[in-house]
C-alpha cells in the first residue's frame, strides 16, 4: 500500500516524467496486489479530495518558491493518504481480507448500477460500455493507456479504435487487453468470465500466464490459470437489451440469474429446479418473468412478502398460478 501511495503522490505532483509513468505502469502490471492497492489509494484519495485540494500558501508565491511548493504538495498528498489508509474503516488489512473492498469501491466507483439496473456509458474515446445489474467500474484514461477496472458485476464493451493507446480491463484475476473488440467480462466469485464476439482479447493472469481468445470463443480464468476455451454463447450478451434468453436451461439456473436482478429472497424447491426452460424473458421486470414461467411450467409462485418469493411444484389441489 505504501508503494501505491508513493506512486500516487508522484503522479499527482506534476513532476512525473515519461519514464516515471512507464515505471508506474510496469509496477501496476506486476501483480494483482499492486492493482488492488492502487484502486484503494485512488478511492480514498477521491473520497478526501478536499484534503488534497486545499491550497498551499507557498504555491501562491513567486517562481522562487515554485519548486519547493511542489515538493511540499507531494509530501502532503503522501502523508494524507498514508494517514487515512492506516485508520479505522480504511485500514489496509481490513480492506484486503474482508468483503469491504467490493462494497466501498462499488459505492465510490466512477460508474455503477444498482440491483436490477442496467446502463450504457459512452467513454471519452467513443467506447461504449454497458453495465449490467449491480456493477461497478473505474475509468483511468491516460496518454498511453485506456484502462477500466471492473470491481463487481458484468460489462459489455464495444471498443473504439485508438492505435496509440491500448485498451485494457483489470479484474482481481488479471488483465484483459482488447484487440479491436466487442466482448463481455463478468466477475464470478474467484474467476473472471470472458466472452468475445468480435476481434480478440489477450488474457494475462495475475501470475503472468497469457492466452489469446478469439471472436466466437469464451473462457474463465483465475489468478494463475485459464479454463478450457469454449464456443461463445451469444445469448450471454442479450442482457444489454434487457432480455434473458434461456435455451434448454434448467429452472434452477434461470432462478440463479434472476436473483442478480432482484432484491430480497427468491427460492426454488429442489423438485422443480431441474425443469427445462426455453424462451426469452424480461429482466427489467422479473415479476413478469416469474408469471411467464408459471404459465409455461408446472410450478406456482408463492409470494409470502413482496421481497420473499418461492417457486414450488404446482399440484392438482392448487390449479391457480
Task: Give the domain CATH number at 246.
Answer: 3.55.50.30
Which residues constitute the domain of residue 161? 111-236
DSSP symbol at 177: E
* pLDDT given at position 105: 62
- Using DSSP bridges, classify how beta strands 308-313 and 265-268 pair: parallel, antiparallel or unpaired: parallel
Q: Is residue 28 part of a domain?
A: yes
**Residue located via cell numbers 477500466:** 148
* pLDDT given at position 251: 98
Q: List, for the chain, all residue ranges whose pLDDT scores fall below the cut of 50.
A: 48-74, 77, 83-98, 100, 321
* pLDDT given at position 109: 85
pTM (global) more than 0.85: no
* pLDDT given at position 43: 63
Same domain, yes or no, for 177 and 150? yes
* pLDDT given at position 94: 45
**Cα–Cα distance, 150 to 169 (Å, whole number):** 7
Q: How far apart are the two ends of the chain, measured CA to CA in Å?
A: 56
Q: Are 156 and 178 spatial neighbours (Cβ–Cβ below 8 Å)?
A: no
**Cα–Cα distance, 93 to 3 (Å, whole number):** 15
Q: Is residue 92 part of a domain?
A: yes
CATH of the domain at 207: 2.60.120.1440
Query: Residues near 120 by Cβ (< 8 Å), separated by ≥ 6?
Result: 128, 129, 130, 131, 240
The pLDDT tens digits for 217-251 are 999 999 887 778 999 998 999 999 999 999 999 99
Same domain, yes or no, for 118 and 101? no
Q: Is residue 320 part of a domain?
A: no
**Residue located via cell numbers 482481481:** 172
The number of distinct structural domains making up the chain is 3
Query: What is the chain's percent helix, strand, coil content, to nearest 5?
Result: 40, 35, 30
Same domain, yes or no, for 183 and 201? yes
Amino acid at each position: 500500500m505504501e508503494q501505491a501511495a508513493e506512486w500516487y503522490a508522484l503522479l499527482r505532483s506534476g513532476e512525473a516524467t515519461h519514464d516515471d509513468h512507464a515505471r508506474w505502469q510496469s509496477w501496476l502490471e506486476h501483480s494483482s496486489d499492486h492493482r488492488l492497492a492502487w484502486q484503494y489509494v485512488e478511492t480514498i484519495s477521491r473520497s478526501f479530495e478536499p484534503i488534497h485540494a486545499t491550497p498551499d500558501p507557498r504555491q501562491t508565491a513567486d517562481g522562487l518558491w515554485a519548486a519547493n511548493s511542489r515538493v511540499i504538495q507531494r509530501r502532503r498528498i503522501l502523508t494524507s493518504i498514508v494517514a487515512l489508509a492506516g485508520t479505522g474503516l480504511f485500514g489496509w488489512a481490513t480492506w484486503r481480507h474482508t468483503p469491504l473492498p467490493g462494497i466501498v469501491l462499488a459505492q465510490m466507483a466512477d460508474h455503477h448500477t444498482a440491483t436490477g439496473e442496467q446502463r450504457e456509458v459512452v467513454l471519452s474515446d467513443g467506447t461504449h460500455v454497458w453495465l449490467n445489474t449491480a456493477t461497478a467500474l473505474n475509468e483511468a484514461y491516460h496518454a498511453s493507456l485506456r484502462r477500466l477496472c471492473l470491481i463487481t458485476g458484468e460489462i459489455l464493451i464495444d471498443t473504439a479504435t485508438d492505435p496509440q493507446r491500448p485498451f485494457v480491463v483489470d479484474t482481481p484475476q488479471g488483465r484483459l487487453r482488447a484487440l479491436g473488440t466487442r466482448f463481455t467480462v463478468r466477475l464470478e466469485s474467484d474467476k473472471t468470465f470472458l466472452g468475445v464476439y468480435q476481434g480478440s482479447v489477450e488474457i494475462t493472469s495475475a501470475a503472468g500466464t497469457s492466452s489469446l481468445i478469439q471472436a466466437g470463443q469464451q473462457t474463465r480464468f483465475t489468478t494463475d490459470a485459464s479454463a478450457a476455451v469454449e464456443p461463445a454463447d451469444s445469448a450471454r450478451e442479450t442482457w444489454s437489451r434487457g432480455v434473458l434468453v434461456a435455451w434448454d436451461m434448467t429452472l434452477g439456473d434461470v432462478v440463479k440469474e434472476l436473483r442478480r436482478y432482484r432484491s430480497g429472497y427468491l427460492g426454488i424447491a429442489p423438485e422443480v429446479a431441474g425443469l427445462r426452460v426455453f424462451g426469452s424473458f424480461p429482466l427489467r421486470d422479473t415479476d413478469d418473468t416469474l408469471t411467464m414461467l408459471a404459465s409455461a411450467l408446472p410450478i406456482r409462485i408463492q409470494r409470502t412478502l413482496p421481497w420473499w418469493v418461492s417457486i414450488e411444484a404446482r399440484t392438482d389441489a392448487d390449479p391457480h398460478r
